[in-house]
Structure 1
Amino acid sequence: MHPSHQNQAQWLNRSLLLFALERDGILSRFFRLAFINILSNLMVPLAGFLSVAFLGHLSEIRHLAGVTLSTILFNYLYRTLGFLRMSTTGVTAQAVGRKDREAVLTIGLRSGLIALLLGMIILILHSPARILGFALLSAAPEVKASGQAYYDARIWGAPATLLNFVLVGWFLGREQSGKVLFLSIVGNGANILLDYILIVRCGWESVGAGLATAISQYLMCLVGMILVSREVRWQEIRSLAGKILAASAVKESFKLNSNIFIRTLAFLSTFSLFTNLSSAMGTIVLAENALLLQVITLVVYAIDGLAYATESLTGILTGQRDSDRLLPLLRMAGETSLLVGLTLALSFALFPDSLFGLLTNHAEVLDSLNRDVFWLLPVLGFGAIAFVLDGYFLGLSEGATLRNTALAATLVGFAPIAIAAWLFHSSSLLWLAMSAFMAARAVLLAVRVPRMLKG
């Protein structure tokens, strides 16, 4: 086929795809969900940035350092339990697609009960977990003291934090992103306000930062419960009490959650190893890579908004047994995500001094950044596709696929090149390892798509 004819055929196919999606309302639903999800997600780093600003302006920098140290523990603790959000969204969306209100309510109640149980276990074990966690972290005694004070205050918010995962997942599964945005405003807004009151006005330093986070989580949870109570009657909950702990349903839930847990643990371990290897290469490399990772994290928050929309609609279409629209939805989501990821990556790659100059004024770090900044293109390009595919398979509740691809990407894509980077003391090889990790995730998930459609 002549190239011009081929381009015309591709343009026609894309136009027909968009027309079909818009005719069925999928296009507008996707972008509405994505836009609201992106706004909701971006409030998290905004609240974190302001919290850092409050702590960073205290007379002693040890409080900021201590909170940063303690946050490493909470990242592992809460992100590995993020399956409470992920699994709830997919199975809830499928129940919505089947128009099975009883299943929608039962899933929410079961997930909430699991979250509450895990939250109570965390509270019971919080002291030995603190001792073990801080024993593994290296820092000056005064920094550790501030970190432990923050930990001891924030940990009491564990039950509310985990319940909020479930509430967000349940609302996302029902295409109620507006409620998720409202909860994000409540939780992050309260956190910012309480940070100011407790850190700046009361002078409670790292303890104030921990209490602000814990209290804001309970406020968010309370508002979420009120939203649920406005559409779910107590009589309905009582009638479903016997089905919440049904053996078969609990077994399926445990299987899905454990697979997502392993997937998330592999993901977090990859980024932690990347940071540790960066540290071994010197302060300048660590500072440079930390700034690049900040950009990646910010872009991923935006891409996750598209992934959440994909997850919700994939689950609903699966519940409706409407597999014909799954592939068009995935193509549209993937192209949009790729456009967002590459556009933002290219912006930082083309104007590194201007954009990274907002984050640091150290000339040696900026010089080092100019050498490695173009690694953002493959990392965020492949990452944009991988995260949307994550959302797609979460919508299908394909936990085993997510687990296997994450483990393979870490062990085969990342680890061998990362070892070479350590041996040769090469930051470029380290970024090649991260690029290979993202590429492996994208490819391994993509090859599973046709098989899922056939299934």
Structure 2
Amino acid sequence: MRCRSVSLSCKGKINHLIRLPNLFTVIYWTFGFMRMGTTGLAAQSHGRGETEALVQLLCQSLIMALAIGLGLIALQSPIFAVGLALMDAPPEITALASEYLSIRIYSAPAVLCQYALVGWMIGTHFARGPLLLLVTANLVNMVLDLLFVIGFGWNSAGVAAATLMAEYLSAFLGLWIVHKRLPGIRWTRALTGTWADYRRLFDVNRYILVRTILLLLAFAFFTAQGARQGETILAANAVLLTFLLLISTGLDGFANGAEALAGEYLGRRDRAGFIAVARTCARWSLITAGLMTLLFAGAGGLIIDLLTSIDDIASTARRYLPWLCLMPLVAVWSYLLDGLFIGATDSRPMQNTMIVSVIGVYLPLWWASRGLGNDGLWLALIGLMAARGLTLGWVYHRRLSSGAWFPGQGNA
């Protein structure tokens, strides 16, 4: 009995330590607008052939990223206090957590600069750049983890230091890549822009910020409600959310393509090209979503077995797997339309439709289906994705038919 209690205690400690990187994932995702906003603006400038405007946008986005990153470092004490409180970590974990957090927070400027660099690269149709940054960061991180943790025995400090160094190396690689892609540009003080230029960036990004926070809160609410139904449901939902990560990874590729190409055609004021991009991305997104549905239906059980070896969790995850088989075909529209609106730098509808979807659909649907248990929770999440797609689709139709994105062209 004592061995079992020790095992459970160790498992709890491991779970708390695993959640430390997740805390930073949430923090940094909150500022994902640095990537999305930069992509749309860069794509439009690229479409208009405005090289100097592209360089100015890059400089301003990097300055904003550095400012936010330094702000996070300055506010690390209250951020850590809230994060550790939400983790509800035991005292023996708090010391390790504080050590990890106090090192990892200094990666904030590098991570946010990478967001700006990746957004700029996508907007200028250099898709290899983000791949190079991702591969570099992960490979360096793995090598340094082995060296610092196993070789030097630095434990959580070693994990944090490895990630910190990998993020900065990746950021410097990104700077080198964009510098090589901009030969002959004279770097002057004027490239830093004026307050009006930063106001433009803020106007695009603030709506994406609110939209992102609402989405994160929706998933936090999903996790909290799952936890109220017991540890097995919580763990099974965590396994199934990995399927959602696969969906997001697959569909985001076409969404990113839509951002870059739609933004380019909007910059050229080419309505026909814009619509052609939307249709092509929609077709391939639907094909991918259909293949994912078939994959999950046919091999979902095998994927679950790869993600967990605990029989209770695996069997519970299989019980709710049909919701994930349905998810790609429902969620595909929200991913695609997000990409089109980001390319158009029309981010306010993304915020407003997210507010309607969360407050008007997600929460009421959860409340009405509480009697269904975890099925009701998944139904609410499916409803959120469907509502996002339907509401953004309605706005998309209005934008095209009214000529808001292409003045004077309307339905022509």
TM-score by structure 2 length? 0.91
Q: Does residue 1:84 correspond to 2:34, yes or no?
A: yes
Shift of residue 139 of structure 1?
Answer: 2.6
Q: Does residue 1:305 correspond to 2:253, yes or no?
A: yes
Where 1:328 maps in the other structure, the secondary structure is helix
Q: Does residue 1:440 correspond to 2:387, yes or no?
A: yes
Where 2:187 maps in the other structure, the secondary structure is helix
Q: In structure 1, which of residues 394, 402, 409 is the aligned counterpart of residue 357 of structure 2?
A: 409
Q: Does residue 1:188 correspond to 2:138, yes or no?
A: yes
Partner letter of residue 163 of structure 1? Answer: C
Partner letter of residue 296 of structure 2? Answer: F
1:50-199 to 2 correspondences below 5 Å: 64-199=14-149
Shift of residue 350 of structure 1?
Answer: 3.0
Aligned to 2:398: 451
Aligned to 2:409: none
CA 196–244 in structure 1, closer or farther in 2 if over 3 Å, else same: same
Contact residue 96 and residue 156 of structure 2 kept, 8 A: yes
Shift of residue 106 of structure 1?
Answer: 0.8
Shift of residue 408 of structure 1?
Answer: 1.2
CA 418–72 in structure 1, closer or farther in 2 if over 3 Å, else same: farther
Aligned to 1:279: 227
Deviation track 1:323-359 (CA, whole Å, cap 9, x = no partner) reads: 1122222122122222222322332233333221111
Shift of residue 254 of structure 1?
Answer: 0.9
Contact residue 59 and residue 191 of structure 2 kept, 8 A: no
CA 233–124 in structure 1, closer or farther in 2 if over 3 Å, else same: farther
Aligned to 1:314: 262
Shift of residue 63 of structure 1?
Answer: 6.4
Q: In structure 1, which of residues 241, 253, 256 is the aligned counterpart of residue 204 of structure 2?
A: 256
CA 372–431 in structure 1, closer or farther in 2 if over 3 Å, else same: same
Shift of residue 88 of structure 1?
Answer: 0.4
Q: Does residue 1:354 correspond to 2:327, yes or no?
A: no
Where 2:293 maps in the other structure, the secondary structure is helix
Aligned to 2:5: none
Contact residue 65 and residue 112 of structure 2 kept, 8 A: yes
Aligned to 2:272: 324
Shift of residue 428 of structure 1?
Answer: 0.4
Partner letter of residue 277 of structure 2? Answer: L
Which blocks of at least 5 consecutive residues in structure 2 are unaligned?
1-8, 405-412
Deviation track 1:35-66 (CA, whole Å, cap 9, x = no partner) reads: xxxxxxxxxxxxxxxxxxxxxxxx96566433
1:195-344 to 2 correspondences below 5 Å: 195-232=145-182, 236-238=186-188, 241-242=189-190, 244-344=192-292
Deviation track 1:176-235 (CA, whole Å, cap 9, x = no partner) reads: 111221122211211121122122222222211111111101001111122222243686
Shift of residue 416 of structure 1?
Answer: 1.1
Where 1:398 maps in the other structure, the secondary structure is coil
Contact residue 304 and residue 387 of structure 1 kept, 8 A: yes
CA 64–232 in structure 1, closer or farther in 2 if over 3 Å, else same: farther
Q: Does residue 1:379 correspond to 2:306, yes or no?
A: no
Contact residue 62 and residue 146 of structure 1 kept, 8 A: no
Partner letter of residue 434 of structure 1? Answer: L
CA 353–379 in structure 1, closer or farther in 2 if over 3 Å, else same: closer
Aligned to 2:4: none
Shift of residue 250 of structure 1?
Answer: 1.9
Shift of residue 141 of structure 1?
Answer: 2.2
Contact residue 92 and residue 104 of structure 1 kept, 8 A: yes
CA 307–294 in structure 1, closer or farther in 2 if over 3 Å, else same: same
Partner letter of residue 48 of structure 2? Answer: R
- Mapped to 2, the partners of 1:363 and 1:222 lie a distance apart of 45
Where 1:361 maps in the other structure, the secondary structure is coil
Contact residue 352 and residue 369 of structure 1 kept, 8 A: no
- Mapped to 2, the partners of 1:352 and 1:184 lie a distance apart of 27
Partner letter of residue 442 of structure 1? Answer: G
Contact residue 68 and residue 147 of structure 1 kept, 8 A: no
Which blocks of at least 5 consecutive residues in structure 1 are unaligned?
1-58
Q: Does residue 1:345 correspond to 2:290, yes or no?
A: no
Where 1:237 maps in the other structure, the secondary structure is coil
Aligned to 2:366: 418
- Mapped to 1, the partners of 2:298 and 2:365 lie a distance apart of 27
- Mapped to 2, the partners of 1:88 and 1:209 lie a distance apart of 30
TM-score by structure 1 length? 0.82
Shift of residue 118 of structure 1?
Answer: 0.8
- Mapped to 1, the partners of 2:230 and 2:290 lie a distance apart of 29
Shift of residue 425 of structure 1?
Answer: 6.3
Where 2:67 maps in the other structure, the secondary structure is helix
Where 1:447 maps in the other structure, the secondary structure is helix
Q: In structure 1, which of residues 420, 427, 430 is the aligned counterpart of residue 374 of structure 2?
A: 427
Contact residue 409 and residue 441 of structure 1 kept, 8 A: yes
Partner letter of residue 353 of structure 2? Answer: T
Partner letter of residue 431 of structure 1? Answer: W
CA 144–297 in structure 1, closer or farther in 2 if over 3 Å, else same: farther
Q: CA RMSD in A?
A: 1.9
Partner letter of residue 440 of structure 1? Answer: A
